[in-house]
Amino acid sequence: MKREQVRERHAEGLISATHVIQNPANPGEWIVFFKKSAGRSYFLVDDNDEVESFARLDDLIETVRGLGIKFAEIHM
């Protein structure tokens, strides 16, 4: 899901949870996914529909906050 879609769905109350996990393809990076109230999950993707990954958790958290998300679970 692209950033603007996350903002819209969060504002509509359609995102039920936000999770941060290590990137399975590169354990030194982090990715974020959102669960919708219907039980489906979506990764945060860029404009090219590639899953966004972050080398620093601080950068990921700043991005998630910028999307209006105030709570996320971090899985290590």
The pLDDT value given to residue 69:
94
The low-confidence residues of the chain, meaning pLDDT below 70, are none
The pLDDT value given to residue 40:
87
Contacts of 37 (CB under 8 A, 6+ apart): 13, 14, 15, 16
Runs of H (alpha helix) within 2-68: 3-11, 57-66
The pLDDT value given to residue 37:
74
